[in-house]
Structure 1
């Protein structure tokens, strides 16, 4: 389901029902997907839906600007605004804090350079020995994910930590994986330092769910996989897949399926620009409860979550491999969210849930006939039961029953299918762009794109849905 289903743009996959092999089909700040259809004894499928350890930025705070490190060296200081020179009457405590921030920035700069060059000793070197165990895990995970850009700057001034010579400092990190010149994802974490000519890192916090980062509309989704877990990875032309080492054996097969799903999802890029890489994480039971804050709906088999910078990451539930071919549907659904959803987390208030999930379901089924849609029976039950005939009221809640969730996804699928069959993919995607990215309501855009009023189109669409489930 879309971001509005969870506070951090998570879209999840709907519940599954007992699978009938004859009708089985292939399959946004975060989006959920519906169930894969009949799967004996399995849960619903999809849903959508940062830590940043040590990093690269020299903050020349004696009046200076934060300098930024990339894989090749210093950038033009694009992160942050120039600091003003200290006033002659500035509080001595503020002056001291600025000087501490400058020294810490130099340490973060050295650490970022070490991370990008693969120098683990240098990465750990700025930290107190007691803090190095956690940093080893983060270094290994970030290198496994092919980190290509790592930047850091103090977010505000440090404050005293209660002990003489110790300071707390919020640090903003920005990073890229695989692609050096990607739009970086931001993350703010709390750190603690012991001051000196070369400050020592005493503690490095984990990111926590937060509604915003500075003046950005995007928030933080909670602890990222690479902050809290060891990871093994495989990379392809369009995707990178990762899992805890215990599930390393699943990565080759997952990569092959992810690459196939990415080819379908690329066709749904509503802006014409596809994601630089699709990032897919397979979670074990422990990781499912920890990554991105945990706490996903019971019926979810996967989700896509907004991590900022225009990037969505996909997480697969521990039992997703039990779905057999249904896993391909989950992947197509979730990757379609990454291709269709905007950077802003407030793209939907629930009234456009049908469009978000309808597009993802179109990708999931990948051209199969409506009659073979796996959730058709649950959709029929909902349409002939409690549905009020309005597209903007079908978004399920976390307590919605599995069958009702599947039915809601089915209605969304049939609605999107109506527009696809009648107007074609080009106009459907243009409609999705203005509604989801440009935040224009359907009645403001339907005549411009479809040459008909929204009231007329909505009526015809609902009639099509009712006819499809007779």
Structure 2
């Protein structure tokens, strides 16, 4: 099953999406001196005043002019820029030297120069980490790599050592794409050419079910050596021990991508679907490693409009069920919004229902493998509300499959009755634009949501009688 989800046979597939974005980097700008005000021209005003006196009488014009000439109007003071703190000046200079090193390292990575990429590191352990990253990023065909300071460095406590948050932005396969952002903590020893002492990893993801904020957790290329294959619509990667899986996985992923491309709700299809097959160790480390036991895979928002798919170690044991998992997760990548806060309990059924439509790929409803679980849920303690279906980490496999199945059937009713175009308009309004169904149902379906919800539930119940 997948965190974010699919019910591949008896293996529901949920989606843990963090969605991270992507965290906006702070931009530090130099203070700009405020120029003194320009001295105002007074003669036009004086002339106007004289004209008024001449017309209306009163104070003689000559006397008024003399008073105006002798009046001490003063000169506006020029605003002075406050002197910059010496510590801030020093930090800014350190940041400039580190940025120069990062620029050289980026050029080395894009040029395939491993020694140049490693040259920035001082400690052996950091060089080993960079060596692994270089190998993995090259395997993923990195095409853009940018690095910049995220704020100013701060003293690390030892003379000449500085801590700095660094924002990386990257693209894979295609030279032109919207970059995905990543912010990590670094430690440097200053000098003419600063040296990297330690390199952090992306921040750990929040717990399952709460991935709407923050970064997605450890990315595969940060913590694992990877090998990959690239197709027309997908890139598939895994660790060297599972290299033999790649040819078959690429073929199945390319087939799934053709289906997923039909589930784009807004904008265009992903430039490449990114799919990572995890071993046992990787499953516990990638993207935070906090996944329900019932998960067979999940889609994670890594920012820049990109979702990455992780497949569980036993997903190849599902046989043709793996194809369902792939279609389901790739449909998430195609249909979900770029923002991380894509979903909550009230829309889980719709997000997963759409992905399950892709998973079944047009097969008849009576052949859906999760119907028995749906039947047990309907006859059990389900309260008949679509927004109460979201499973927890400790929900049983059967209940999870039932929840995904109910979501699928309710969404199938909408597409059967109204067609894909109107269904996707509903998804756009509810999931992307965060409008509640009660606000959009009559606008899109010409029927109140209260009435339509009852009909969706009735369809679900009828399907498992």
Whether the TM-score (by the shorter chain) exceeds 0.5 is yes
**C-alpha displacement at 1:36, in angstroms?**
1.6
TM-score scaled by structure 1?
Answer: 0.83
SS in 2 for 1:126: coil
SS in 2 for 1:335: helix
For the Cα contact (< 8 Å) 2:350–2:411, is it kept in 1? yes
- Alignment partner of 1:83 out of 26, 29, 36: 29
1:214 aligns to what?
Answer: none
For the Cα contact (< 8 Å) 2:329–2:355, is it kept in 1? yes
User: Which 5+ residue runs of structure 2 have no aligned equivalent?
Assistant: 19-23, 33-80, 207-211
For the Cα contact (< 8 Å) 1:48–1:334, is it kept in 2? no
**C-alpha displacement at 1:47, in angstroms?**
3.8
1:323 aligns to what?
Answer: 318
2:62 aligns to what?
Answer: none
1:105 aligns to what?
Answer: 99
- Does 2:336 match 1:364? no
1:457 aligns to what?
Answer: 452
**C-alpha displacement at 1:82, in angstroms?**
6.1
SS in 1 for 2:316: helix
**C-alpha displacement at 1:238, in angstroms?**
0.4
Matches within 5 A, 1:268-417: 268-417=263-412
2:17 aligns to what?
Answer: 49
- Does 2:190 match 1:195? yes
- RMSD, aligned CA: 1.8
Larger Rg: 2
In structure 2, the CA distance between the partners of 1:210 and 1:326, relative to structure 1 (3 Å rule), is: closer
For the Cα contact (< 8 Å) 1:32–1:46, is it kept in 2? yes
For the Cα contact (< 8 Å) 1:154–1:169, is it kept in 2? yes
CA distance in 1, matches of 2:16, 2:84: 48
Structure (1/2) with the larger helix percentage: 2
Matches within 5 A, 1:152-171: 152-171=147-166
User: Which 5+ residue runs of structure 1 have no aligned equivalent?
Assistant: 1-11, 14-30, 51-77, 212-216
2:239 aligns to what?
Answer: 244
For the Cα contact (< 8 Å) 1:80–1:153, is it kept in 2? no
**C-alpha displacement at 1:218, in angstroms?**
5.3
CA distance in 2, matches of 1:33, 1:157: 41
**C-alpha displacement at 1:400, in angstroms?**
1.0
CA distance in 2, matches of 1:351, 1:121: 51
For the Cα contact (< 8 Å) 2:7–2:356, is it kept in 1? no
Q: Please give the per-residue CA displacement for 1:290-323, whole angstroms capped at 9, x wherever unaligned.
A: 0001021010011111111111100000000000
1:96 aligns to what?
Answer: 90
**C-alpha displacement at 1:209, in angstroms?**
2.2
CA distance in 2, matches of 1:283, 1:387: 34
For the Cα contact (< 8 Å) 2:205–2:288, is it kept in 1? no
In structure 2, the CA distance between the partners of 1:169 and 1:79, relative to structure 1 (3 Å rule), is: closer
- Does 2:4 match 1:32? yes
**C-alpha displacement at 1:417, in angstroms?**
0.3
1:426 aligns to what?
Answer: 421
TM-score scaled by structure 2?
Answer: 0.84
**C-alpha displacement at 1:148, in angstroms?**
1.0
For the Cα contact (< 8 Å) 1:46–1:316, is it kept in 2? no
Q: Please give the per-residue CA displacement for 1:262-291, whole angstroms capped at 9, x wherever unaligned.
A: 000010000141011100000000000000
CA distance in 1, matches of 2:398, 2:197: 50
2:75 aligns to what?
Answer: none
For the Cα contact (< 8 Å) 2:264–2:334, is it kept in 1? yes
How many residues align structurally?
406
**C-alpha displacement at 1:79, in angstroms?**
7.9
CA distance in 2, matches of 1:349, 1:270: 18
For the Cα contact (< 8 Å) 1:144–1:233, is it kept in 2? yes
